[in-house]
Amino acid sequence: MKDKREIQILDILRQDSYISSQELAKQMNLSDRTVQTLIKRINENSADYGAKVTAKKRYGYRLEILEPEIYAKRKKLFTCADRKNVPDTPEKRMAYIIIRLLDEKGYVKLEQLCDELYVSKSTIASDMKNAKEILHRFSLALESKPNRGICIRSTELNRRRCLAWMLKQSEEGQEGLEIGALKNEAEKIVDDLISEEHFEISDISRKNLVLHLCIAVRRIQNGCQLPENAFGCRSFDEESRRLAQKVIRWMQLTFLLEPGRGEEDYIALQLSCKRVVRRGGTPQNLVLDQQTQDIADEMILRVWEEFGQDFRGDFELRMNLCLHLVPMRSRMRFGFPAENPLLEEIKLEYPLAFEMAAVACAVMADQYWTGVSEDETGFVALLFALALEKKRSQTQKNVLLVCGSGKGSSELLRLKLQREFEGTIGNIEVCSLGQLEKADFSQIDYVFTTVAIDQIIPVPIVEMSWFLREEEMKEIRQQFEKHERISFRRYFSPQLFFAGIRARTKAEVLEFLCGRVVADGLCQPELLELVMAREALGRTTYGNAIAMPHPVRSVSQETFIAVGVLDRPVDWDGTQVRLVFLISVSITKNRSLDDFYKGITRLFTSRQMIDRLTESPSFETLEEIIKTLEE
């Protein structure tokens, strides 16, 4: 960004006379050293200014004009009363150029852009490099012709997609297109839809809808309407079509425009993309087509296959997914992803649900041959988080009762346990001490026993008498509460703690950690490939310089965490990462997976503990931190 003091120096200096450094510093109320620094920066950017500052001993400083035309333009900027509104950083200039080209019907000469921005052609050329990357993201091509300038070649729909995205990033751009003048009218019609037509929409979607209506009006006023076949044979739902026709009438009456069928489709699309769909929430029948239901079923099946969480019988989750997919499919198909202001909070509060959503949304990515944004994934994660919480509240403990007496007394004790712990204990199986060795513990949470057990079993043991006294029932309740606490220390080991890793890229870090894990025989050889597949679904960074990579499906018999502390941070999809926790969940899908993820997230969100581990990168430090978290 150009320092205003640099501009002030050029405004003070003259071509035909010198001014001493002391006098210049006095006029600007600065130190001699600061003045010298500013002059050095002016000379480094002399191409932009069209001038430089020369110095002569015992005389001082003088202005030397290198390119009169550029300097004249700059001079105009120096003396312009509203020069603060002219973009003065590469980012702002890039946004200005893109919006300017998107709004223009024909070509724009580079000289014209130079005049408007008061910069040289070389500066414009530099700004255009970054602009091309954004244009490419929206399938927009930049065309250049001698003596005519540059223009954007693409469909009107893609042009509007990019224009909407740019205007969300740039308040100055909205002012430049005079969008503000249209906002009040657009807000009136949207608020009318909300109040009179019971059109349900979130606050952020309301703002976006207003912006798209402003863009539509602006483009139609410029003679740039969407063609009738802009959306192919797309048939929108009756409600969105009816409301779109109401908006068209508003355009006709308020702005004296004649929007065509393509514009009606565009508005119907925006309405269908942004509405909140609820059961019984619309005056029309809501028909969920078979394709929507099939996608929801496939999403739930993928979660079952990858996480072992069975929601296949959860009718409410299935319906919630179907209702969410109705507008989401429109957003996916036409490239208008939703914005999620709660994304980071969702990732931190519901990490397991977010991972489930990332896997489930891959079904949509396969369907539409395009990635699902993290914002969209976050909304789907909320649906899985709700299903998990309900399942968690309904979960009962399964008990294996080991008895040393006859069947009658065992049955009596089983009935007493069911009566005393109704709602907490679910299924109670009974076996003898001799049968215990062959017992299947995959669905057992506790073993209650009236006899001593010598063999090692994988679940907690509660010893009791035949008569189940009050103090014993109190101890059982305490056991239940104790094992509800988050415990994840057992997933770490000193063999999988690596400090001082010298890697310079995300790929190098993952190659190192995955290689060590596979070499130790803990995972199948395709671990790295599956980890990279998960990285492609969305970011695995959680703030605090931490990344949590993991395979897109389970490839290890046991759950474990490999920890890598880098010797210096690396760029991890735009985030500087110093600590890496490579997580592999057991193929057996432990039922306490939710607690596992919550425990890990608790570690990630403690800045103090992470700083402590970074400053003292040892397994002993990690053990102390985990012990503190589990207390």
Instruction: Tell me the per-residue pLDDT of 3-44, one tens digit each, with 9 for 90 and over.
Output: 567 877 888 888 888 898 888 888 877 788 888 888 888 898
Is the per-residue pLDDT at 435 higher than 90? no
pLDDT of residue 1: 39
What is the CATH classification number for the domain harbouring 309? Answer: 1.10.1790.10
Q: At 182, which helix (H) or strand (E)?
A: helix 180-196
Is the per-residue pLDDT at 531 higher than 90? yes
Q: Do residues 500 and 625 both lie within one domain?
A: yes
Mean pLDDT, range 433-442, rounded to an integer: 84
Question: Read out DSSP for 318-371?
Answer: HHHHHHHHHHHHHHHHHT-PPP-TTHHHHHHH-HHHHHHHHHHHHHHHHHHTSP
Is the per-residue pLDDT at 181 higher than 80? no
The C-alpha atoms of residue 455 and residue 436 are separated, in whole angstroms, by: 9
pLDDT of residue 254: 92
In a domain, 371, yes or no: yes
Cβ neighbours, 10 Å, residue 161:
23
pLDDT of residue 189: 93
546: β partners = 579
pLDDT of residue 76: 62
Residue 549: name the closest of 591, 583, 598 by CA.
583
Please report which confidence band the pLDDT of residue 342 belongs to, taking 50, 70 and 90 as the band edges.
Answer: confident
Q: Do residues 378 and 451 both lie within one domain?
A: no
Averaged confidence pLDDT in the chain: 83
% of the chain residues with pLDDT over 70: 88
What is the CATH classification number for the domain harbouring 128? Answer: 1.10.10.10
Print the domain residue range for 247.
180-274
Query: 621: Cβ–Cβ under 8 A, 6 or more apart, which residues?
Result: 612, 613
The C-alpha atoms of residue 278 and residue 200 are separated, in whole angstroms, by: 9
Q: Do residues 472 and 504 both lie within one domain?
A: no
Q: Do residues 126 and 240 both lie within one domain?
A: no
Q: Do residues 518 and 618 both lie within one domain?
A: yes
pLDDT of residue 369: 74
pLDDT of residue 82: 45
Residue 484 DSSP SS3: coil
In a domain, 525, yes or no: yes
Q: Do residues 51 and 112 both lie within one domain?
A: no
Cα–chain center distance at 421: 43
Residue 488: name the closest of 389, 598, 388, 587 by CA.
598
Q: Do residues 372 and 505 both lie within one domain?
A: no
Is the per-residue pLDDT at 133 higher than 80? yes
The residue among 482, 517, 546 that closes a domain is 482
Q: How many helices (H) and strands (E) does the chain have?
A: 26, 12
Q: Do residues 270 and 319 both lie within one domain?
A: no
Tokens at 631, concatenated: 């207390």
Q: Do residues 499 and 583 both lie within one domain?
A: yes
Is the per-residue pLDDT at 291 higher than 90? no
Domain count, the chain: 6
% of the chain residues with pLDDT over 90: 26
Q: Do residues 351 and 225 both lie within one domain?
A: no
Mean pLDDT, range 246-256, rounded to an integer: 94
Q: At 143, which helix (H) or strand (E)?
A: strand 141-145
Mean pLDDT, range 280-302, rounded to an integer: 76
